[in-house]
């Protein structure tokens, strides 16, 4: 069966080392989803690990020169993923804005950051996953696995 696995990072805020060590802990996973606030760190990660494919979005702390879009929609195994940093949907105050966007975009999986608080919940027919912040002491990140039958989100500690 087809299976796609991704490392999910957010809010590295200048900390490149934990990104590298997480990638080295999962040598079998060569796809990274980045949810904003640390574009320079992701660029450094890409330079260090040329075989890793990184798909990212821009966060509120990323420079205006950051070339990433604020929102991405991906189709993986016929499941639509929405990637966003989350600040434009008010995620620090709840999921209402994200839930509406998920409905508008017909997203089954919503990946977001910004709060630095890990989240894994299923509401209104969609999964909402936040890997937390991989910066400094937290070193939180996610492993997303998608098959035709299931969506799994694990949260190892760095």
Backbone angles phi, psi at 130, to 5 degrees: -125, 120
Specify the CATH number for the domain of residue 59.
Answer: 3.60.21.10
Confidence class for position 1, pLDDT limits 50, 70, 90: low
Residue 76 CB-density burial (10 A; 0-12 exposed, 13-18 middle, 19+ buried): middle
What does pTM read for this prediction? 0.96
Q: Does residue 23 have a pLDDT over 60?
A: yes
pLDDT band at 37 (very low <50, low <70, confident <90, very high): very high
SS3 148: coil
Angle in degrees, 0-180, between the axes of helices 39-48 and 17-25, rounded to the nearest 10:
50
Cβ–Cβ < 8 Å for 143, 151: no
> In the chain, how many domains are there?
1
What domain range is 37 assigned to? 3-154
pLDDT at 2: 77
97-106 pLDDT, tens digit each? 999 999 999 9
């Amino acid at each position: 069966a087809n299976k796609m696995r991704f490392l999910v990072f957010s809010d590295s805020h200048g900390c490149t080392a934990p990104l590298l060590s997480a990638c080295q802990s999962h040598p079998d996973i060569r796809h990274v989803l980045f949810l904003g606030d640390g574009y320079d760190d992701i660029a450094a990660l890409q330079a260090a690990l040329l075989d890793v494919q990184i798909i990212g979005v821009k966060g509120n702390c990323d420079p205006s020169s950051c070339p990433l879009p604020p929102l991405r929609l991906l189709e993986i195994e016929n499941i639509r993923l929405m990637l966003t940093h989350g600040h434009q949907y008010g995620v620090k105050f709840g999921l209402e804005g994200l839930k509406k966007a998920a409905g508008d975009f017909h997203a089954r999986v919503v990946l977001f950051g910004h709060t630095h608080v890990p989240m894994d919940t299923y509401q209104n027919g969609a999964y909402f996953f936040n890997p937390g912040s991989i910066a400094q002491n937290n070193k939180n990140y996610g492993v997303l696995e998608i098959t035709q039958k299931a969506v799994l989100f694990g949260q190892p500690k760095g």
